[in-house]
């Protein structure tokens, strides 16, 4: 009897080891749950910056894992988010309540962007690499599902009645939503990983080979072309007649819509931060020099703040709100001096619903959304 009990114990031990190894030679670990606890908030610091905490939203309560929110778009009426699987959720901007949540495809589908339809505020376009899903913003109902003629690689620029994407093959592709057809395409040089951008009535794109192309989106006519000397790790941004690019070639570039260079500002290191344009300045973090303001017309340095890094979120009462490295910094516009700076634990992104005096939405690494209302 003792031998039988010992044999049973050994067998249970073996089975336990096999279970831990998943029946093979590899250990299988379940996704670790992430606490839904709200990260600590310094109300005094936020109040000094011109904001107050309004609400906390829980868009993906059933999703396990840290930092699972892949994309977000904020507006005056709603906050749209997509997790790294395929689920899309919409929170009410007024109170953070869940309006709806839906899964679009299998978890292995790669999605590239969320877009509010500029021609119809009640339509949301969710782009995967192979097709566009159009959803009703009020109900989440699927309105349409249209395949692309080629696998796309970026979020689209909605301009001129089409969605303009970049592709890994180097083609700039315009898809006409509703018709489910390719409006036009242009084969450039190099993979496109940066989102195309609207520049006035045109649209511009930059490839990882430095090919800068500018089009009339209605016809697909190439109206300008230029070159930078490397790829990018950020998206181009635009003023009314100029596209600005922060390149890995250690330069900030400004191109006119005919493809000619308006100016080039050389930097000591490659640029990886996202530039922003606001109030006649191009703002970008320059390694070794800090958060920097360049004159949008000439490229001249107006000021640099070596103590601040990150990207411009927006402005509040005429001051700049910058987020980066786990900190929010409030800077004066004229000389870039730091007015206030404070840590924001567990916050991975901050988005504004308007460039000036808008509300801020902080996304945390445990998949929450915290709204800070302008006060």
Please name which of 102, 239, 81, 148 lies closest in space to residue 156, comparing C-alpha atoms. 148
Residue 325 near residue 341, CB atoms below 8 Å: no
Q: What pLDDT is attached to residue 34?
A: 57
Running DSSP on this structure, what letter comes out for residue 117?
Answer: -
Cβ-based burial of 318 (10 A; exposed 0-12, middle 13-18, buried ≥19) = exposed
Non-local (6+) Cβ contacts of 220 within 8 A are 174, 183, 184, 185, 186
Please name which of 339, 334, 373 lies closest in space to residue 54, comparing C-alpha atoms. 373
Tokens for 21? 């190894």
Q: What pLDDT is attached to residue 49?
A: 96
**C-alpha pair distances (Å), 365 with each of 29, 98, 348, 369:** 20, 19, 6, 10
Q: What pLDDT is attached to residue 179?
A: 80
Query: What phi and psi, each to the nearest 5 degrees, are found at residue 208?
Result: -75, -5
pTM metric for this prediction: 0.89
Q: What pLDDT is attached to residue 24?
A: 36
Residue 64 near residue 31, CB atoms below 8 Å: yes
Cβ-based burial of 281 (10 A; exposed 0-12, middle 13-18, buried ≥19) = buried
Q: What pLDDT is attached to residue 161?
A: 86
Spell out the per-residue pLDDT of the chain, length 375, in tens: 444 444 444 343 433 433 334 333 333 334 445 567 888 899 999 999 999 999 999 999 888 889 999 999 999 999 999 999 899 999 999 999 999 999 999 888 999 999 999 999 999 999 999 999 999 999 999 999 999 999 999 999 999 889 999 999 999 999 999 888 999 999 999 999 999 999 999 999 999 999 999 999 999 999 999 999 999 999 999 998 999 999 999 999 999 999 999 999 999 999 999 999 998 999 999 999 999 999 999 999 999 999 999 999 999 999 999 999 999 999 999 999 999 999 999 999 999 999 999 999 999 999 999 999 998
Please name which of 318, 323, 304 lies closest in space to residue 361, comparing C-alpha atoms. 323
The rounded distance, in Å, linking the Cα atoms of 252 and 230 is 12
Burial 72-99 (b: 16+ CB within 10 A, else e): bbbeebbbbbbbbbbbbbbbebeebeeb
Integer distance in angstroms from the first to the last C-alpha of the chain? 77
Q: What pLDDT is attached to residue 180?
A: 83
Residue 350 near residue 323, CB atoms below 8 Å: yes
Q: What pLDDT is attached to residue 11?
A: 40
Helix or strand (DSSP H, E) at 152? none
The rounded distance, in Å, linking the Cα atoms of 93 and 86 is 22
Please name which of 339, 280, 278, 279 lies closest in space to residue 307, comparing C-alpha atoms. 339
The rounded distance, in Å, linking the Cα atoms of 141 and 284 is 39
Please name which of 189, 222, 185 lies closest in space to residue 208, comparing C-alpha atoms. 189
Q: What pLDDT is attached to residue 35?
A: 63
């Amino acid at each position: 009897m003792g031998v039988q009990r010992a044999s049973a114990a050994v067998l249970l031990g073996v089975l336990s080891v096999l279970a831990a190894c998943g029946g093979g030679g590899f250990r299988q670990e379940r996704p670790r749950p992430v606490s839904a606890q709200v990260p600590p908030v310094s109300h005094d610091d936020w109040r000094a910056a011109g904001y107050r905490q309004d609400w906390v939203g829980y868009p993906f309560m059933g999703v396990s894992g840290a930092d699972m929110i892949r994309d977000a778009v904020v507006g005056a009426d709603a906050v749209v988010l997509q997790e790294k699987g395929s689920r899309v959720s919409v929170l009410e901007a007024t109170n953070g309540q869940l309006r709806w949540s839906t899964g679009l495809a299998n978890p292995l589908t790669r999605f590239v962007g969320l877009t509010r339809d500029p021609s119809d505020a009640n339509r949301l376009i969710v782009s995967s690499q192979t097709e566009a899903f159009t959803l009703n913003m009020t109900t989440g109902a699927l309105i349409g599902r249209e395949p692309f003629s080629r696998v796309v690689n970026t979020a689209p620029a909605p301009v001129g009645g089409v969605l303009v994407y970049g592709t890994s093959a180097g083609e700039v592709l315009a898809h006409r939503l509703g018709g489910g057809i390719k409006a036009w395409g242009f084969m450039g040089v190099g993979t496109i990983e940066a989102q195309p951008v609207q520049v006035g009535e045109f649209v511009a794109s930059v490839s990882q080979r430095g090919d800068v192309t500018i089009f009339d989106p209605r016809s697909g006519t190439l109206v300008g072309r230029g070159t930078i000397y490397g790829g990018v790790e950020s998206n181009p941004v635009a003023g009314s007649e100029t596209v600005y690019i922060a390149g890995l070639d250690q330069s900030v570039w400004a191109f006119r819509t005919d493809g000619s260079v308006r100016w080039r500002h050389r930097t000591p290191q490659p640029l990886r931060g996202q530039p922003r344009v606001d109030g006649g300045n191009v703002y970008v973090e320059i390694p070794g020099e800090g958060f920097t303001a360049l004159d949008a017309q000439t490229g001249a340095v107006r000021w640099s703040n070596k103590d601040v890094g990150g990207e411009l979120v927006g402005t509040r009462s005429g001051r700049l709100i910058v987020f980066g490295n786990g900190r929010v910094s409030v800077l004066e516009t004229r000389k870039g001096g730091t007015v206030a700076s404070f840590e924001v634990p567990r916050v991975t992104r901050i988005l504004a619903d308007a460039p000036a005096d808008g509300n801020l939405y902080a996304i945390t690494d445990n998949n929450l959304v915290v709204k800070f209302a302008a006060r």
